[in-house]
Structure 1
Amino acid sequence: MTDPLRIAMIAACPFPWPRGTPIRIHRIAEAVARRGHEVHVVTYHLGQDLADPPFVVHRIRDISFYRRTSPGPTVRKLCLLDPMLARLLGRLHHEIGFDLVHAHHYEGLLVASHALRGTPIVYDAHTLLTSELPTYRLGLPRAGVRAVASWLDRYVPRRADRIIAVSETIRHALTTVGASAPERVHVIPNGVEWERFPVEQGITAGGPTVIFAGNLAPYQGVDLMLEAFAQVHARLPQARLMIVTDSPFTPFEALARRLGVRAAVDLNRATFPEQPAILAAAAVAVNPRVRCDGIPQKLLNYMAAGLPVATFESSAGPLRHEVTGLRVPDGNTAAMADALERLLTDRALARTLGDAARDQARREFSWDQVAARVEDVYQKAIAEAR
């Protein structure tokens, strides 16, 4: 363990919140604090309650007319919430004197670099805007959005002293476009609290339930999931699809009805602590995201739960085909349907894949391991600033 540091962790998002970015911030803050450091999470006014966290949470003042918790940029976030976050960070730095800022995602990095001068900044790159930004409905020409995203990917990371990338894909992309020198980018994937999940999992459940847990943003591939499930349901009429989310299903109601599966889709607004028990009641997990530069947090949760997973290739992360899950070509809903049907009907295969996935999650993706590696990056950034 190194000497204790005073760390500001920037969360330009609802915090805590049961989706990928807030979960990564939460667990890193928790694990780093338990290594003896003084961690201050600086975040929006939105978030769930925390029971005795080992870190301090500082929020901007409440904005009564802004209650959006879904991912993606908005004018109010960029022009109101983020400037408020920068002012809060500046004031806290004056009072506390942070040794380092750990800024998550692009907005966190922009906030940190505008608020502080001379304090080392570690940028946590969860994704590439080149792949994510065009998926949002921004009301702008798609070509223009791609151009802006490409520019941001190239130039904004240069504001950081060190970069943490959640995957080798992100590291390669940032170094290729000249956003950073290769030796300044460190790959540290997400972790997962595998011990939170029951040992006996949903492959012993009575009914054939396919589960998806996550937000319903456009990049998640919910339309592809529904199309694949419709094919499964036609062959296995007793099959059901459970969607665990806090997002409205309204954008997909018409599609589900047109496909004839709306009555077989169950919506569950469970909190994050409730999710392990819900995952345990499912038979198979599905990851329908077509492109993901990092590793989807839901995928690690599925693995920790010992669930057999069917996933599209580009978002499969550490899953090995026929070893810890089934990978199918991106966007091929027929292949996804075949994989889901196979896992629902071949219980021996499902158990073998699920057990192997849980073992991999336990061995390779603990948050304690993540925190130790993050701490090493902190030390490198601080040493260079002296």
Structure 2
Amino acid sequence: MERGDPAHVAINAHLLSFSDSYRGAGIHRYIRALLEYLPQVSDHRYTAYLGDPRAKGVTWTGINARLAPFSTMSPLARAVWEQVFQPIHLVRDAVDLVHGPAYALPLLCPTQSVVTIHDLSFLLYPAAFNRGNRLYLKLMTRMATQRADGVIVVSEHTRQDVMRLLNVPASHIHVVPNGIDPHFRPLPADKVRVFRAQRRLPERFILCISTIEPRKNLTTLIRAYATLGDIEHKLVIGGGRGWKYENVFALVEELNLADRVWFPGFVQHDELPYWYNAADLFVYPSIYEGFGLPPLEAMACGTPVITSNTSSLPEVVGMAGLMVHPTDIQALADAISRVLTDKALATSMAVQGLARAEGFSWKATAARTAAVYDALLATRVPKGATHVIPR
């Protein structure tokens, strides 16, 4: 194979989940977008390794989907496949480059490799994670970033974290922001009205879409909402239960808000635009994000956004939303009150949000990812020669 010719690129898609749970959120969306758009923006031959048995029969144009003979939905099974079976497949399938889209690569990797780091929350906020999950992520991420030919990060903030916490040189890191699906857009009022009736959504409500886990800071949102008193807006927190979520539900009971705060559970991706369109305001008080897709999706639907002024969220929201410190309950309550009572402000935020969201697309994400592949593949050493990872 000559340099510049189409290469064989494999993507470890074992975190692609078809379950109605938090596993079908952020990283799942990232992997799915790569599988959909990479064949549209590059001429490489793509193979996707899958581990969810429910993926049987699922196809993507231009992708050779390979389903593992056993389920890898459990962390242990997935780790075994990644470290034992994946290297064998890479050799047998004559892969030129493998992409680990979520933190991990095989330790004995026979090909060039790229790993994506979405955030380092498990290093910065270890108490928010279960011990086993935290230790695995810490170990695999450190080893993957040291062994990979290239490291992709989803924001400039994450790039800084990876340089500072993992000692990866800046020249080795590529910032490729996440994108947004085109069906996130303002919808006709009559369709939103029908959906509201079908799902029995409140007539007026504040929305938060988030996995229910400590880092998402939902207790601050609930306390801020409680200070607003008996307003007409309900609070709707949509998302699957992640880990350490019990105190969120306990707080709602403690504050006697059970009839005003609704947890509808995991929201299907195809329905999300309707939820955003139906809401008067979207609030995302996360303590730390590597990117932060929900605020971007809400803005693309024309919904005003309030979020935190920390980590990568200012990169995503820009000047289109209101930002407050994630631990300042009163500041969050004041911001919510401002948007709900100032129609001109809400309208201005909606317009600015739409303009901001236009700068993000999954197709652009795929194109920039393919450009990383191309840059690394251009350094390929001919077969029979010794491969030296550039640093």
State the TM bucket, normalised to the shorter chain. Answer: 0.7 to 0.9
Please state how far the C-alpha of 1:338 moved relative to its aligned partner. 1.1
Please state how far the C-alpha of 1:177 moved relative to its aligned partner. 4.7
Q: 1:124 aligns with which of 112, 116, 121?
A: 116
**Identity of aligned pairs, percent?**
23
* Equivalent pair of 1:311/1:327 in contact (CA under 8 Å): yes
Instruction: Describe how 1:259-298 pairs up with structure 2 within 5 A.
Output: 259-268=255-264, 269-292=266-289, 294-298=290-294
Distance change >3 Å, CA 3–CA 228, structure 1 → 2: farther
Query: In structure 2, what is the equivalent of residue 245 of structure 1?
Result: 239
* Equivalent pair of 2:317/2:356 in contact (CA under 8 Å): no
Paired with 2:127 and 2:376, the residues of 1 have a C-alpha distance of 32
Please state how far the C-alpha of 1:37 moved relative to its aligned partner. 3.3
Name stretches of at least 5 consecutive residues in structure 1 with no aligned partner. Answer: 68-75
Distance change >3 Å, CA 217–CA 51, structure 1 → 2: same
Instruction: Describe how 1:1-386 pairs up with structure 2 within 5 A.
Output: 3-16=5-18, 18-35=24-41, 36-45=43-52, 52-54=59-61, 55-63=63-71, 77=75, 79-106=76-103, 108-109=104-105, 112-114=106-108, 116-117=109-110, 119-128=111-120, 129-138=122-131, 155-177=143-165, 179-199=167-187, 207-232=203-228, 234-236=229-231, 238-247=232-241, 251-268=247-264, 269-292=266-289, 294-315=290-311, 316-318=313-315, 323-362=319-358, 364-386=359-381
Please state how far the C-alpha of 1:283 moved relative to its aligned partner. 0.7
Paired with 1:346 and 1:59, the residues of 2 have a C-alpha distance of 52
Distance change >3 Å, CA 218–CA 384, structure 1 → 2: same
Paired with 2:184 and 2:123, the residues of 1 have a C-alpha distance of 34
Please state how far the C-alpha of 1:26 moved relative to its aligned partner. 1.2
Report the secondary structure of 1:97's partner residue: coil
Paired with 1:99 and 1:149, the residues of 2 have a C-alpha distance of 26
Paired with 1:39 and 1:264, the residues of 2 have a C-alpha distance of 48
* Equivalent pair of 1:203/1:283 in contact (CA under 8 Å): no
Please state how far the C-alpha of 1:380 moved relative to its aligned partner. 1.6
Report the secondary structure of 1:102's partner residue: strand
Report the secondary structure of 1:210's partner residue: strand
Report the secondary structure of 2:46's partner residue: strand
Paired with 2:6 and 2:339, the residues of 1 have a C-alpha distance of 48
* Equivalent pair of 1:212/1:243 in contact (CA under 8 Å): yes
Distance change >3 Å, CA 320–CA 190, structure 1 → 2: closer
Please state how far the C-alpha of 1:84 moved relative to its aligned partner. 2.2
Paired with 1:329 and 1:103, the residues of 2 have a C-alpha distance of 33
Paired with 2:132 and 2:361, the residues of 1 have a C-alpha distance of 40
Please state how far the C-alpha of 1:34 moved relative to its aligned partner. 1.8
* Residue type of the alignment partner of 1:295: F
* Equivalent pair of 2:10/2:49 in contact (CA under 8 Å): yes
State the TM-score, normalizing by the size of structure 2.
Answer: 0.81
Paired with 2:139 and 2:60, the residues of 1 have a C-alpha distance of 37
* Residue type of the alignment partner of 2:222: L
* Residue type of the alignment partner of 2:181: E
Paired with 2:322 and 2:183, the residues of 1 have a C-alpha distance of 24
1:312-362 residue CA offsets vs partner (Å, 9 max, x unmatched): 1115233557x4110011211111111112112222211211221121111
Paired with 1:20 and 1:191, the residues of 2 have a C-alpha distance of 11
* Equivalent pair of 1:105/1:127 in contact (CA under 8 Å): no
Name stretches of at least 5 consecutive residues in structure 2 with no aligned partner. Answer: 197-201, 382-391
Paired with 1:50 and 1:209, the residues of 2 have a C-alpha distance of 39
Paired with 2:57 and 2:284, the residues of 1 have a C-alpha distance of 28
Please state how far the C-alpha of 1:150 moved relative to its aligned partner. 6.9
Please state how far the C-alpha of 1:255 moved relative to its aligned partner. 0.8
Please state how far the C-alpha of 1:47 moved relative to its aligned partner. 5.9
Please state how far the C-alpha of 1:61 moved relative to its aligned partner. 3.8
Q: Over the residues paired in the alignment, what is the CA RMSD in angstroms?
A: 3.1
Please state how far the C-alpha of 1:46 moved relative to its aligned partner. 6.0
Please state how far the C-alpha of 1:39 moved relative to its aligned partner. 2.5
* Equivalent pair of 2:150/2:172 in contact (CA under 8 Å): yes
How many aligned residue pairs are there? 359
Please state how far the C-alpha of 1:136 moved relative to its aligned partner. 0.9
Please state how far the C-alpha of 1:138 moved relative to its aligned partner. 2.4
Report the secondary structure of 1:318's partner residue: helix
* Equivalent pair of 1:324/1:353 in contact (CA under 8 Å): yes
Please state how far the C-alpha of 1:203 moved relative to its aligned partner. 11
Paired with 2:57 and 2:29, the residues of 1 have a C-alpha distance of 13
* Residue type of the alignment partner of 1:190: N
1:138-196 residue CA offsets vs partner (Å, 9 max, x unmatched): 289xxxx79x9777665541110011111112212322356322111111111111444
Distance change >3 Å, CA 266–CA 253, structure 1 → 2: same
Please state how far the C-alpha of 1:378 moved relative to its aligned partner. 0.5
Residue range with higher mean Cα deviation, 149-158 or 173-182: 149-158
Paired with 1:227 and 1:273, the residues of 2 have a C-alpha distance of 30
* Residue type of the alignment partner of 1:43: L
Please state how far the C-alpha of 1:211 moved relative to its aligned partner. 0.7
